[in-house]
């Protein structure tokens, strides 16, 4: 039986049962008062599917309250389909494709995708390079920041008008973490690196000027000189992080095509999530994404903010 034949992808009651097993592994609790006692299931012809009532605070709720699915009128089994499609598509899936596949409006599909990306955001401050591990650091440019006017009086392509992305990859754990930055100056990047990377880590970068004095904070700093055609000396290279950027750019340019800066952090979270869970099966990755839905309510108006 194929993965998409599972009941919770098609049956609403099965979808609620599956979500309850994820959100309430130890049994239901009231999202309003936190009580785990006197939780009743409301039945009857007019009762909504999955509706429960707390005997303490007397308020009603479903398992969707307090998650990214709260107040959504989209059937829950279609949410499961959307999460699976986003978790299993290596370079992402466009809102237009979700709109056609799920048979919802484009506006709904776009908002669903942003809610799912929000669920994929870890928000953690994991420290990379513990125990002297190797961390590759690099930056890339994407899109067009319309708040910055490109300078046309100089030769070359120029990157001032593009969005700047900083990324780290821990070789030992295989994890990536990327973030939007305002500029690529040392005074901007070094504090971020000091916060996210263990001091004893060996950092590998290219020869960019912002990393020139990085050895003052990270004595193990090594770099390759791309400017002279050097792309590796033994295990001193940035090939791993270049591979991550390759997947990211193929998705952003080939699938999503356009992205405003205010949304970019969620797209980065999506690509980080899939990269970090690349060794899992599609269905395991879907379960991992579903586990991140709690406490991440995203209103439509908020989806336009950082």
Interval 188-201: pLDDT, tens: 999 999 999 999 99
Contacts of 29 (CB under 8 A, 6+ apart): 35, 36, 39
Q: How far is CA 259 from CA 85, 94, 95, 119, 123, in A?
A: 20, 12, 12, 19, 21
- Bridge partner residues of 134 (DSSP): 202
CATH number of 130-256: 3.30.420.10
The percent of residues in the chain predicted with pLDDT above 70, rounded, is 91
The model's pTM is 0.89
Instruction: Give CA–CA dist 282/120, Å, rounded.
Output: 14
Instruction: Give CA–CA dist 147/161, Å, rounded.
Output: 8
Domain boundaries, the chain: 130-256
Confirm if 201 and 135 have CB atoms less than 8 A apart: yes
Indicate the angle between helix axes 282-290 and 12-23, nearest 10 degrees.
70
Query: What pLDDT is recorded for position 158?
Result: 66
Average pLDDT over residues 24-28: 93
pLDDT digits (tens, 9 = 90+) for 63-118: 999 898 998 999 999 999 999 999 999 999 999 999 999 999 999 999 999 999 99
**Can you read off the two tokens belonging to residue 78?**
């279609």
């Amino acid at each position: 039986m194929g993965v998409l034949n599972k009941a919770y992808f098609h049956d609403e009651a099965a979808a609620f049962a599956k979500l309850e097993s994820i959100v309430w592994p130890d049994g239901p609790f009231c999202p309003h008062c936190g009580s785990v006692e006197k939780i009743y299931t409301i039945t009857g012809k007019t009762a909504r599917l999955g509706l429960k009532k707390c005997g303490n605070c007397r308020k009603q709720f479903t398992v969707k309250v307090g998650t990214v699915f709260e107040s959504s009128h989209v059937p829950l089994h279609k949410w499961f389909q959307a999460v699976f499609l986003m978790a299993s598509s290596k370079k992402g899936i466009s809102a237009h494709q979700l709109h056609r596949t799920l048979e919802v409006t484009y506006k709904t599909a776009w908002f669903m995708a942003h809610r799912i990306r929000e669920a994929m955001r870890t928000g953690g401050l994991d420290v990379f390079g513990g125990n002297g591990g190797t961390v590759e650091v690099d930056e890339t440019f994407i899109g067009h920041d319309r708040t910055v006017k490109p300078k046309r009086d100089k030769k070359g392509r120029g990157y001032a008008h593009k969005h700047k992305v900083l990324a780290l990859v821990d070789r030992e754990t295989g994890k990536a973490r990327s973030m939007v930055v305002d500029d690529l100056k040392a005074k901007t990047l070094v504090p971020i690196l000091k916060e996210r990377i263990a001091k004893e880590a060996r950092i590998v970068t290219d020869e960019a000027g912002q990393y020139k004095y990085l050895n003052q904070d990270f004595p193990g700093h090594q770099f390759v000189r791309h400017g002279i055609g050097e792309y590796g000396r033994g295990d001193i290279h940035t090939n791993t992080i270049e591979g991550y950027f390759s997947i990211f750019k193929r998705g952003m340019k080939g699938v999503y095509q356009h992205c405003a800066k205010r949304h970019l952090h969620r797209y980065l979270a999506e690509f980080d999530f899939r990269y970090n869970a690349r060794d899992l099966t599609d269905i395991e990755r879907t379960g991992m994404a579903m586990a991140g839905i709690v406490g991440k309510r995203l209103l439509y108006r908020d989806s336009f903010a950082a």
